[in-house]
Amino acid sequence: MNADQMPWLGKFCLYLAPMAGVTDPIFRALCKEEGADVLETEFVSAAGVLQAWERTRRYVQLTDGQRPVGVQIFGAEPGQMAAAARIIVDAVHPDFIDINAGCPVPKVVGRNGGASLMKDLPLLERIARAVVQELVEDCPVTAKIRSGWDADSICAVEACMRLENAGVHAITVHGRTRSQQYSGTADWNIIHSCARSVRIPIIGNGDLRKPEDILRERDKGIVAGVMIGRAAMSSPWIFDRARHLLDTGELLPEPTPQEKLDLTLHCVRSTLDSGHYGDEHTTMRALRARILSLTKGIPGTKERRPALARVSSWIELQEILRSLG
Ligand SMILES: Cc1cc2nc3c(=O)[nH]c(=O)nc-3n(C[C@H](O)[C@H](O)[C@H](O)COP(=O)(O)O)c2cc1C
């Protein structure tokens, strides 16, 4: 691998976090329009790629307008992870493959994948080495880790050193343990310790809610970039506002309520048109949480939340949102 394969690493980039059920192709496109520099798919299971590629493929469908974009995979078996990475790279040519070592959900850790790799760093290293060796010059490999399994086993620094040793090109560190899931606060001291312990770029992740949080991290000059998850779900415009603040020192106002409503409708309409989730009813059900996130805080939505939580057609959504505008 040479530096030309991941040229964006030379700049302080704003990454959209991989989020299962959220970062589908349409939401990724929206975040790109709103200024995200680097995107990532939701995770896909290596076993799923190997056993049911046609069904899994839609989760990793990429478009050139979204590049650079990575595909995230999870699993616990080095050979399987390498074989799945090869299939994905040959089929959709991502800009990087990301190894998930952070997912806390029982379905994933129960099969020794995701965050459970933080309990077995030699296995994490073997997985990383197998994927790197499989892809060699074809595609760079990154990893996303947590600070550790629990408060008694903080091991992110050792994990980063092992991953660097295995040939991984960059690492995102979410400053929470698996036990914390998404509670408490992210520990940025651990993220900084990781960045100081390895030569490869470390991307910091956890609790960046406002453009000012991102400016603060950029100005410390320790991490190579930042990854934004939940703030992007409710405020995808955070990317543009953060970039403007980083470049000019000026904090732009939030979009107006009407602009937020327009963006919500644009997101839902684009998702319906894409057919990604199937028919209208299935799509509206899949998008309810997103609609609630995007409209949170808009005057009048509080009273409409029960209706938005049940919305099942495009016409119904338009009627509810029009009554706010
Ligand atoms: C709904 C949801 C789904 C997520 N899915 C994934 C995933 O597929 N892969 C992953 O590495 N992390 C996943 N995460 C974790 C995020 O990528 C991120 O690390 C976490 O939300 C912390 O960042 P934040 O404080 O900016 O939200 C998910 C988080 C949420 C809220």
| Same domain (yes/no): 105, 176 | yes
| Same domain (yes/no): 43, 123 | yes
| Same domain (yes/no): 12, 109 | yes
Report the number of distinct structural domains present in the chain: 2
Specify the pLDDT at position 117: 97
Whether residue 286 is predicted with pLDDT greater than 60 in this model: the reply is yes
CA 82/CA 211 separation, integer angstroms: 37
Specify the pLDDT at position 160: 98
Tell me which residue of 35, 31, 33 sits closest to 17, measured CA to CA.
Answer: 31
199 exposure class (CB count in 10 Å sphere: 0-12, 13-18, 19+)? exposed
Per the model's pLDDT, the better-predicted residue between 1 and 109 turns out to be 109
Instruction: Name the CA radius of gyration of the chain, rounded.
Output: 19
State the average pLDDT over residues 20-32: 95
| Residue of 13, 103, 160, 194 marked active site | 103
- Residue-number span of the structural domain to which 232 is assigned: 3-248
* pLDDT tens digits for range 182-219: 999 999 999 999 999 999 999 999 999 999 999 999 99
From residue 22, how far is each of 41, 50, 241, 271 by CA, in Å?
9, 23, 21, 12
Identify the weakest region by mean pLDDT among 7-11, 39-43, 287-291: 7-11
Contact of 100 with 107, CB cutoff 8 Å: no
Residues having CB closer than 6 A to ligand 1 are 17-22, 42-43, 72, 100, 102-103, 144, 174, 205-208, 228-231
| Same domain (yes/no): 224, 282 | no
| Same domain (yes/no): 97, 14 | yes
Specify the pLDDT at position 64: 85
| Same domain (yes/no): 266, 221 | no
User: Ligand 1, from 19, 174, 191: best to mutate by most atoms within 8 Å of Cβ?
Assistant: 19
| Same domain (yes/no): 95, 195 | yes
Specify the pLDDT at position 324: 80
| Same domain (yes/no): 9, 132 | yes
| Conformational region of residue 35, where left means phi above 0, alpha means psi within -120 to 50, and beta covers everything else | left
| Same domain (yes/no): 172, 238 | yes
Contact of 128 with 171, CB cutoff 8 Å: no
- The CATH number given to whatever domain includes residue 184 is 3.20.20.70
Strand duo 96-101 + 13-16: pairing: unpaired
